[in-house]
Amino acid sequence: MLKYRKDLSLMPSYDGVERDYSIKVNANECNLNLPPLVEERVMSRLSRVAFNRYPNEQYDDLRDQIARNFNVDADQILLGSGSSEIIEKVFYAFGGNSRKRIVYPQPSFSMYKIYARAAEAHAIPFELDDNYDLDVEKYIATVNGEKAHLAVVCNPNNPTGNVLTVDQIETIAQRIDCAFLLDEAYVEFYGHSAVNLVKKYPHLIVARTFSKAYGLAGARVGYMIANRNVTKMIEKTFMPYHMNVLSLATADIVYQMRDEFVPRIQMMIAERKRMSGRLAALDGVKVYPSETNFILIKYDRAVELNRRLEELDIGVRYFVGNPRLENCLRISMGTREENDAWFAAIEKFVREAKA
């Protein structure tokens, strides 16, 4: 009889279904590989990587570059294997037992609940309203009333796509005094980051990723920006050399060449606007406002629609067994051709369903 850690069997698993669909718009990835010029530079850099050495210099190079861009010191940046690792470690650092309370929005990134459980903390989901907006006053009251140790906000929010303003984020930062994790995984599509508030609020931790706007989901690189007293503590939770040299060198080049990504970020925003308009014109389809690279829709026959899309080898995100996202589908923006193809399938289904 194997004696696993307490409660491991009760631990929820990530509910995403991964498969290589012919049109894959289920994971908010970037559907284009690196811009050719960037790829060339990455390959040339990788050919010079010292495979035999632990990654030290590469970590510092990338960290220095990010710090310079945000006008903070390098010791205010920590890199992670995706922002997933950053978020997990923050939960770990402020959790530890059931007296440690972590407040996070719901519905939001489904991993918050899992990280809270993994950190053996007391999870307190904060319900977004019927339009999936976060009521700032209520949120502050919940965080303070619960005497939370960590408060989490995802801005823009996944999977709903909506946002808080930087002023609203600042209001929260001003009026709570626990650690405040702001997950900005999609912020490049929104354009209004709250990173600068880190200088003013020493309890604010901003998590960012290379996986979405910079199309590096496969390389697994994310980072956090925070006060140096915070980074110093969170750093203790990482194992030594937790980032591999290939990903660090790749992200370093991508970050140096980030201007090359601006046109495609703009293209994805334009596609999101175009597709939101087209979807909204379909009978019975509700489209939620989004400032990201994806769109959330609600449709009475979403289960059947999802099945039809699966048959056509089109993967969108369906939220099995989540009562707050009943009949919702989340669709990431692909290339223009891919978007036209999934839209044609949805339009046909809606038309036939009505007939």
Tell me which residues touch ligand PLP (CB under 6 A).
Answer: 28, 82-84, 109, 154, 158, 183, 185, 209, 211, 217, 222
Q: Judged by CB, which is closer to ligand PLP: 185, or 285?
A: 185
Q: At 150, which helix (H) or strand (E)?
A: strand 150-154
Q: Judged by CB, which is closer to ligand PLP: 183, or 252?
A: 183
* Residue 330 to residue 328: CA distance in whole angstroms: 7
Q: Judged by CB, which is closer to ligand PLP: 216, or 350?
A: 216
* Residue 146 to residue 339: CA distance in whole angstroms: 44
Taking the complex as a whole, how short is the minimal distance between the CB of residue 187 and ligand PLP, in angstroms? 10
Q: Do residues 269 and 80 lie in contact, with contact meaning Cβ atoms separated by under 8 Å? A: no
Taking the complex as a whole, how short is the minimal distance between the CB of residue 154 and ligand PLP, in angstroms? 5
Q: What is the CA radius of gyration of the chain?
A: 21
Q: Do residues 102 and 108 lie in contact, with contact meaning Cβ atoms separated by under 8 Å? A: no
Paired tokens of 5: 């850690």
Taking the complex as a whole, how short is the minimal distance between the CB of residue 82 and ligand PLP, in angstroms? 3
Taking the complex as a whole, how short is the minimal distance between the CB of residue 217 and ligand PLP, in angstroms? 5
* CA-based torsion, 279, 280, 285, 289: positive or negative: positive
Query: Reduced to 3 states, what is the DSSP secondary structure of residue 171?
Result: helix
Taking the complex as a whole, how short is the minimal distance between the CB of residue 350 and ligand PLP, in angstroms? 27
Q: Judged by CB, which is closer to ligand PLP: 198, or 207?
A: 207
3-state helix, strand, coil in the chain (%, to 5): 45, 15, 40
* Residue 224 to residue 207: CA distance in whole angstroms: 4
Taking the complex as a whole, how short is the minimal distance between the CB of residue 46 and ligand PLP, in angstroms? 20
Q: Judged by CB, which is closer to ligand PLP: 282, or 295?
A: 295
Taking the complex as a whole, how short is the minimal distance between the CB of residue 28 and ligand PLP, in angstroms? 5
Comparing C-alpha atoms, which of 99, 98, 95 is closest to residue 115? 95
Q: Checking DSSP bridges between strand 294-298 and strand 314-315, what pairing results, if any? A: unpaired
Q: Judged by CB, which is closer to ligand PLP: 42, or 350?
A: 42
Query: Reduced to 3 states, what is the DSSP secondary structure of residue 75?
Result: helix
Paired tokens of 38: 């960037």
Q: Judged by CB, which is closer to ligand PLP: 158, or 306?
A: 158
Taking the complex as a whole, how short is the minimal distance between the CB of residue 211 and ligand PLP, in angstroms? 3
Residue 206's region, left for phi above 0, alpha for psi from -120 to 50, else beta, is beta
Comparing C-alpha atoms, which of 8, 31, 2 is closest to residue 334? 31
**Residue sitting closest to ligand PLP (CB):** 82
Q: Judged by CB, which is closer to ligand PLP: 70, or 210?
A: 210
